[in-house]
């Protein structure tokens, strides 16, 4: 999963907060007011997100409607996987994380690992 820039993250936030697919115009209208973006800017960002496989799109008249290809949690997990893969030493990264994890995070991880089926 590619790293997202600030504007890409803001567009993904809009898509993740919607229960349905959105057009470029819909996304533009739901962006925070302080952004003052052009339609073509949002269209370019959505096209880039589609190229990065972060959003799916389908024809909607003469335009497209967009929806997230991953949940927010799925995207965060993919980003974590990317960090581990790029670290060169995933064991050390995981051990460092384990040392800094809260008690609740540790419990969630232990429970998830206990439920995970064994790998062949």
pLDDT digits (tens, 9 = 90+) for 1-20: 567 899 999 999 999 999 99
Residue 75 CB coordination number (10 Å) = 18
Report how far Cα 41 is from the mean position of its chain's Cα atoms. Answer: 19
Beta carbons of 26 and 78 less than 8 angstroms apart: no
What is the average pLDDT score of the chain? 92
Indicate the pTM of the whole model.
0.81
User: Quick one: pLDDT at residue 33?
Assistant: 78
């Amino acid at each position: 999963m590619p790293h997202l820039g600030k504007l890409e993250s803001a567009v993904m936030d809009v898509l993740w907060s919607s229960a349905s697919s959105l057009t470029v115009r819909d996304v533009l209208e739901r962006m925070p007011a302080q952004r003052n973006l052009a339609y073509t800017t949002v269209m370019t960002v959505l096209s880039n997100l589609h190229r990065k496989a972060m959003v799916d799109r389908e024809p909607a008249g003469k335009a497209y409607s967009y929806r997230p290809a991953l949940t927010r949690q799925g995207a965060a997990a993919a980003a974590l996987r990317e960090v581990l893969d790029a670290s060169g030493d995933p064991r050390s990264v995981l051990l460092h994380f384990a040392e800094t994890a809260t008690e609740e995070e540790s419990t969630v991880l232990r429970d998830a690992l206990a439920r995970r089926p064994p790998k062949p």
